[in-house]
Chain A
């Protein structure tokens, strides 16, 4: 695949938000749409969500995650959207320039008329829930365990305790049970469930896995591998209740303690984040504070259902396409001003051709070397002269101005760029 210098819309991430954004950007009129995915396959985290429950709103069907993703992947491919897999976006600027790193394509720079951020979210980790004890192997986030079991095909343990009643944790409780592992229990520090009730019923209750509300882990035991955890009951202010401690033998502790939108790239582009959601401040089109940079899905705030993520992606994609087309139309009117013979620089550097209709445009420049005789100051396009006037001399210390008049508009329209030459009349 040949990577272009410039795309109409670049989408970062190919999860449900990114795929929907790319599809609707394309349908919205963007010609060149590029999706960048850091993993080796399209679909994002949906690929490891092999349980069903996806698409009830969108397709009125109950689909497993990979199948839900596949419908979008098929549509995106049929629309001729470009994809870069196993490729990391290292940097994004507010001028919508992206730096990509890939084993297959190298380190490349790409410009975009519009960008959709769709990096999703990441899991909160041990340090964010203050879990004292050793740092043995066997403490994993539920999502990491999910990847191991569902994508890599390996079991990360035999006896599990799950901290947190988030959806991934509950779904993993059931999945691990299917695989013949023992899930001792799920501990939740709050007095209520953090995930969906339907997951409690289908993933815990149906399989006899106990949920202990207002309980947490006081200590992790085991130096090389988890050997047990010390569980404890808490009061409404999350203080430990003395005497309620219980040692639970296990070889693995899974953490399902919340998700955080992943916005490290967004910050590099100058996108402002809401401290409450952890995602960008957005308008109704999911545009961030940086014009032309949109955000969709879990990168904005953590959703409960994938259908809403796809919907947000669609809106962001449509809006990005609209922005890109307007931006393209605007930039297409510009032509560069090129310093030619004996011209060091010209200000302005580029020119909106239509601006000539509004009035005079002053081209200001300095010459490279003095010419102490009559000179021509000439502005020309590729094939046509726009204007020529004379001076008795030019000197680097004295700025030179050439004025473009509204009556030159027709000639300027024919040019792809304007070059200024300053030369002795004797050489003409």
Chain B
């Protein structure tokens, strides 16, 4: 089903910008405002930078001892009555989930947000086998109804205006297309989802953290939708990436203080829920999923990406993401974290993502677990360049540039040629959209009549002493 052509992220970003004067400015404004709230929350904690360092070290410790902590988690969760399964990849995850549902005769499933389940492409798999899957998170449900993936891991529909949502809901759940009040729309979704919670045979969640010490996993939401899904249907299935493991309960103090502040600019999410074994009268299944994580652990340059706690702060701060939107990346994960994760799933398909960045470094600065995101983006560029994934034109121009810059004589000849050329080239050629992307958006700077080097030779020709005349 997946095409193997590279995702043209720059083109798709441009489409997002050009659709009108409403969507992109709104998208940028909301995420910028979220970043300002994040900064205010962080500034209020004198220990903020210390917490980031602690979180980074705890994660690095957990990941460098991952096998021990996973087996400890499994033992403790099992001892508390959970059933723990292991899935090597997305396909196996889906098979396990389906087998559990089938064993219970369940055909109605309600789920909360899980990027891992997105990764596994679980929903279409289950739907093809007669399972009705309802997203309960409002943003995810909006995207599900619209047949789109989420565009942001915390705010899945942040690229849509209220008008877009109103029209979508009118089409799909029968609300008034002219009423775009978010309160009214949210209420409509509440009333639409509630019967599904009550009818569901199973609730599925992801997990933000899994604690080895007690076999507990933690789910943080603002809506409480994960909690309803766990508390009402008799069966709860949790999909957990193996990298979510933390050693001890007290580690959560550090992570919970960082998570919501980083991603949404609030001290905590409304609900931080801790599940240890099944609830009274319920059954709990945990599916631990690898899907490339163990392989990533072995990548010296990139394994730190496994520290990610899926807060979304990198997306909020990234000026390229804010402008171009999350759907442009064409992948489960978008934004800066997406740029460094997606190539591990398909290097060729995502070969252009590492160039969808100015390497400004803001992502690394906001990451609560200090992933060196910006440095990893540059490293991915080296991978893409070495595999000849760069578009031909780019490769040729950099080969020429590299040669010229290594040879001063040629460089000076080029300078002499470039100046007059730019000065005399017809305007239409310089500003042609295809031939000259610079000229599409900007006026071209004038090449100086005298380069610095030429000035230097004229005024400082003793190469160190000022010219006595100047």
Q: Do A and B bind each other?
A: no
